[in-house]
Homo-oligomer: A and B are copies of this chain.
Amino acid sequence: MGESFPMVGGDSPFSYAKNSNPQKEAADGAKAMLITAITENLEIGQVKNSFCIADLGCSIGPNTFHAVKNIIEAVDQKYKTEGLISQIPNFQVFFSDHVSNDFNTLFTTLPSDRQYFAAGVPGSFYGRLFPEASLHVIHSSYALHWLSKVPQEILDENSPAWNKGRIDYSSAPSEVGEAYSAQYAKDMESFLAARAQELVPGGMVALLIPGRPRGTLPAESSLGPLFEPLESALLDMANEGILSQERVDSFNFPIYSPSPEELEGLVERNGYFETVRMDLLQGTIRPLLSAQECRAGFEGILRKHFGSEIIEELFERYAKEVAGRPPLHDISDGLSIGLFVLLKRKVTA
């Protein structure tokens, strides 16, 4: 079922809960799109006793709580504008993430004024998580760029896709990007197949993902510029003999940002969904991740590959790398852009 790389749990200064502002900003930008999408596309007739929402890759909050609140408000509004206040259903929300996610923290920080019944669901979203036709809206924000694993070819010295000395596919030979793209296609196939089973007919999938502009190759626009200071710190440590070169060569982020046409092709091949929306979010200028933010997102995967003993030094070096660097521009710096995707489960496929 692939590997898992949970965000840092708890509420320490390095935790995801305290360092997820970039994700929150992107989600705020998509809020209006999400609300409009639900209001325009929800089919109330498909709802029976309760309205079930899943947030996949929820981590530990608070972003997941904001997203869920927006969805519920939009559904609520839809009932009201159609004069169906008396039929507003109970809401049940499933917060889902890898089994290694810190659900204890998620549960203790659930908003006390929430207007829904909450549940946690452990497991990978590349497999089935819910019974057949049991969900009305599936949401996932900045989680689907995590592949189930690094494509194997890029670890193979004898492959043209061997990704020596880099930690992702930005500025890599085209074979590396193609290997990532193929892994993404396999993973999305699993994702869409599972979601097609879990949604009621007419149900919706709303995705917020890092993507790249139409007509670009993987290497042209990725999360690479965001990872560059980390790559630089790792290579320095290898040059100074603190890490072996081989350890650095064998490390790659299992992360991918697709183009709209790539995603459209995968949705079409799956066959169970129509693509209602595929919108670029406004291009933004943003600072590099601070050492704390970077640590919140990636400490788990780095610790697993390089061992715990180098973590402190790595992030000290990272902090020095980013100090004073100018912010990144989504497109002119080749940084991936935000894609808002709305899929609707066909009634018959």
The 8 Å CB contact of A130, one of B110, B117, B134, is B117
Q: A50-B131, A50-B132, A89-B131 are in contact. List 15 more A-B contacts (CB 8 A).
A: A48-B48, A49-B131, A49-B134, A90-B134, A92-B130, A92-B134, A102-B104, A103-B107, A103-B120, A104-B104, A117-B121, A117-B128, A117-B130, A117-B131, A119-B120
Please tell me if A62 contacts chain B, counting CB pairs below 8 Å: no
How many residues on A have C-beta within 8 angstroms of the other chain's C-beta atoms?
30
The 8 Å CB contact of A132, one of B90, B107, B130, is B90
Please tell me if A122 contacts chain B, counting CB pairs below 8 Å: yes
Q: A50-B132, A131-B49, A131-B50 are in contact. Are A107 and B122 (CB under 8 A)?
A: yes
23 contacts between A and B (CB under 8 A): A48-B48, A49-B131, A49-B133, A49-B134, A89-B131, A90-B131, A90-B132, A92-B130, A92-B134, A99-B108, A102-B104, A103-B104, A103-B107, A103-B120, A104-B104, A107-B120, A117-B128, A117-B129, A117-B130, A118-B122, A118-B123, A119-B119, A119-B120
Contact present for B103 and A49 (CB under 8 Å)? no
Task: Collect the chain B residues with CB atoms within 8 Å of residue A123's CB.
Answer: 118
- Within the assembled complex, what's the spacing in Å between the Cα atoms of A94 and B48? 20
- Within the assembled complex, what's the spacing in Å between the Cα atoms of A128 and B116? 11
Task: Collect the chain B residues with CB atoms within 8 Å of residue A122's CB.
Answer: 107, 110, 118, 120
Task: Collect the chain B residues with CB atoms within 8 Å of residue A100's CB.
Answer: 108
- Within the assembled complex, what's the spacing in Å between the Cα atoms of A103 and B89? 28
The B-contacting residues of A in range 149-203, CB under 8 angstroms, are none
- Within the assembled complex, what's the spacing in Å between the Cα atoms of A48 and B130? 15
Task: Give 1 or 0 for each of A80-108: 1 = CB within 8 Å of chain B CB.
Answer: 00000000011110100001101110011
- Within the assembled complex, what's the spacing in Å between the Cα atoms of A48 and B200? 13
Task: Collect the chain B residues with CB atoms within 8 Å of residue A89's CB.
Answer: 131
Q: How far is the CB of A134 from chain B (nearest CB, A)?
A: 6
Task: Collect the chain B residues with CB atoms within 8 Å of residue A118's CB.
Answer: 121-123
- Within the assembled complex, what's the spacing in Å between the Cα atoms of A130 and B129? 18
- Within the assembled complex, what's the spacing in Å between the Cα atoms of A113 and B131? 16
The B-contacting residues of A in range 209-241, CB under 8 angstroms, are none
Contact present for A132 and B102 (CB under 8 Å)? no
Task: Collect the chain B residues with CB atoms within 8 Å of residue A133's CB.
Answer: 49
- Within the assembled complex, what's the spacing in Å between the Cα atoms of A99 and B48? 28
Instruction: Look across to chain B and name the residue whose beta carbon is closest to the beta carbon of A99.
Output: B107
Task: Collect the chain B residues with CB atoms within 8 Å of residue A90's CB.
Answer: 131-132, 134
The B-contacting residues of A in range 54-76, CB under 8 angstroms, are none
- Within the assembled complex, what's the spacing in Å between the Cα atoms of A130 and B134? 14
Instruction: Look across to chain B and name the residue whose beta carbon is closest to the beta carbon of A197.
Output: B90
Contact present for B50 and A92 (CB under 8 Å)? no
Q: How far is the CB of A274 from chain B (nearest CB, A)?
A: 22
Q: How far is the CB of A51 from chain B (nearest CB, A)?
A: 8
Q: How far is the CB of A47 from chain B (nearest CB, A)?
A: 11
Task: Collect the chain B residues with CB atoms within 8 Å of residue A134's CB.
Answer: 49-50, 90, 92
Instruction: Look across to chain B and name the residue whose beta carbon is closest to the beta carbon of A116.
Output: B131
